[in-house]
A and B are shown apart, each in its own frame.
Chain A
Amino acid sequence: MSVAVLARLQAEFGAKILETSSFRGDDEAIVAPSDWAAVAAFLRADSELVMDHFIDITAIDYPERTPQLPRFDVVLLVRSMSKNHRVRLKTRVQDGEELDTLVPVWRGANWTEREVFDMFGIRFRGHPDMRRILLYEEFVGYPLRKDYPIDKTQPLIEYRKEDNLEKLPPFGPTEGQPWNRIDWQARLEGRDMQVSPAIAVQQGQKHALSESSARAEGKPLPDEIPGKN
């Protein structure tokens, strides 16, 4: 804990470190995708940081923040074995944008980057083996994207055709729908609204339905419309 990781990074890269934060003691730095590999290599190589212990690479999907910000956060977690400190490095990439692979820096990034590709569809430039890892090759789409419906299955083999294999009554085929508290497809189309104001607010529908929304809708039309009664 001798070195303040973020300070060291800022000293080295200056403005290339776009943001830093230390929420609940987790040091985090955000860089641009173009600096991603360089900063990562520095983390590993620097004699004060020595982030030699690879922890994880993952991603987060924020479909709603586009186009102000790129859609995905890609997150790298590393740790130093000798110094016993950790850092979280983040970058933001657009859908379809490729990111430099970190496999040359930490070989452990191999599978986790494959998983990010599998789940989010973010490709890594220079990765030795960019295949799906958890899902099968025939799978279309990227399930951890918010707009992939959770229950959309893509069976590899046909199901048997017999009675009583579906959910039995009174459980309908859509059972589980309300528990799917946020219907992301609907939300991205702007139509997922909860009746309960409190729950609406918790789903990010700020004041959408409470009585305090006094937005006028529809406006009187000019009188000269033909055929008007």
Chain B
Amino acid sequence: MPTFKLNDKEIPFEPGETIIRAAWKQGIEIPHYCWHPGLSVAANCRMCLVEVKSQRPMMLPILKWDAEKQDYVEDTKPKLAPACQQAAAEGMEVSSTSDQVKQAQASVQEFLLLNHPVDCPICDQAGECKLQDYWLDHQKTLKRKQTEPVHKVKGVRFGPTIVYDGERCVMCTRCIRFNDEIVGDPVLDMRERGNTNEIVLSPGRQLDHKYSLMNEHVCPVGALTSRDFRFKARVWFLKAQTSVCSGCATGCNMFVDYDPRDQHVYRLRPRDNEAVNKHWMCDDGMLSYHRYHQERIVTGRVRTNGHLADVKIDVAMREAAALLATVEKSKIGVVLSAQHSSEDNFVLAKLAREKFGTDKLYLAALPGWDGDKILRHNDNNPNRAGATLAAGGPLRTVKDLLADVASGAVEGVIALGWASAEDAVALAPLSRAKVVVSLSSNEGALPNTATVVLPVAVHVEMSGTFVNAKGMAQPFKKAIQAPPGVKSAWETTLDLARAMGLGIDFAKLDDVRRAMPANTPAASNPGAPV
């Protein structure tokens, strides 16, 4: 592979790659605003200027301030090149830290801050703002300009999710390019020039496509902010955990940003993975975190006199075990969930097959949504493949279960998850079963029809694996603590088995993973470092 030298370090590159991309691949960051690895090159921020050392550099005449003479003197300086546009060449010597470059970076940064409002206290970007970072790295001076900054529009609602602040904008056009190139919906554009330059919506449009929240993340500064995340938390308090989106079968890689103090997830962000989602995520996926905190089931529930009453978890557990004991084991139907991790499903399936001796396994899944060609998969269940894989055989549907219940073949049901394609009305026949034990994290049709409900953790509260539609097993890690007393579904299953006097011994997650079929990918693919 050919190489070039960046700051005396050999950088390999593929022919045709730009300097900045080759450096980025090596984990070296050349300061930039407008360049984005997933977008086309605009080269308008001029932050990435580097000095390309060649035998005969192009020298530009300049006037330089001479402190001794107290006057400007004529001088020359080499012309700098934007690293985002300059293709790398074999043997090229590039410097991003020479005096000339430093001066250029400082000047660009100062220009970008000329009209910036004093908004850090009220700006959500503070803490992860490139303007702040680069100021510290490259400018380091206080303001020289004495005059009033130019004012522009503030707080413009671009759509249901995004608000635009013209004063904070550095006109990098990343958002415009993102909408054009990735989404294919040219809803944003730029108007005017110079000081009055601003981002505008296409006439009559709103920023309302399915990837609008990505605009916040492509924006390097605080110009585009999310209405969902707005004013809720400060990013320097948040910790991140690598995880996988549970929104659909694509399995976008993401970060879970949570506050460790209150164990609350505040947002989900895309995590770069060229093989799955590149740099992007859809709105629905990013907003799916609301489910972690809303409509949660945190207590046990037992149906008495027709309605579900909250009880302590261990009470519900005992009740469930007692009720299940009244049912002939072979007549217990077990519903796996396409929303739950492979481990959850595996343990439940193992319980059914080995301890109940039943093969009445069903799969509950959401009915699917409107997918597209970008990221969204038609199947909005994250782990249909994994659940099937973990069950070790084909699974029947909930409809089949209803039929079995009606026929009396199934008298007891253990159902995992809240999601099913059927609504409450459709599930009503389920109540004819003697006992329906639901292991569910959230409210839903399935737990509502149950005799006993046992709460379980959502996927950010545990470590596990999702297998996406492409068959990639992607592990995710625990981010926040589950509500007190609530355990993950596989642990709850074990507890239930124990309460029924059936022993399945798994002490920790690794045991489960080891016990999973050897060709089940999760065990062989513990998460690569991020």
Contact = CB atoms under 8 A, between A and B. Distances in A.
B394 interface: yes
Contacts of B25: 214
A219 B260 contact: no
Contacts of A198: 127-128, 132-133, 136
Interface stretch (B87-95, B159-167, B381-389): B381-389
A197 B272 CA distance: 14
A219 B236 contact: no
A228 B235 contact: no
A60 interface: no
B279 A209 contact: no
A223 interface: yes
Interface residues of A, number: 40
Contacts of B228: none
A210 B29 contact: yes
B137 to A, nearest CB: 9
Contact of B239 (A174, A190, A195): A195
B449 to A, nearest CB: 26
A227 B391 contact: yes
Contact of A227 (B255, B393, B521): B393
B388 A217 contact: no
B513 interface: no
Nearest to A198: B133
B133 A197 contact: yes
A18 B510 CA distance: 42
A178 B261 contact: yes
B71 interface: no
Contact of A212 (B37, B251, B393): B37
Interface string B237-266: 111110000000001010101011110000
B148 interface: no
Contacts of B251: 218
A215 B272 contact: yes
A218 B273 contact: yes
A212 B29 contact: yes
Contacts of B274: 214, 216
Interface in B32-80: 36-37
14 contacts: A175-B261, A178-B260, A194-B240, A210-B29, A212-B37, A214-B37, A215-B528, A217-B253, A217-B275, A220-B275, A225-B521, A227-B392, A228-B389, A229-B384
Interface of A: 172, 174-175, 177-178, 183, 186, 190-199, 206-223, 225-229
Interface of B: 24-25, 27, 29, 36-37, 127-128, 132-133, 136, 235-241, 251, 253, 255, 257, 259-262, 272-276, 279, 384-385, 388-389, 391-394, 467-475, 477, 519, 521, 525, 527-530
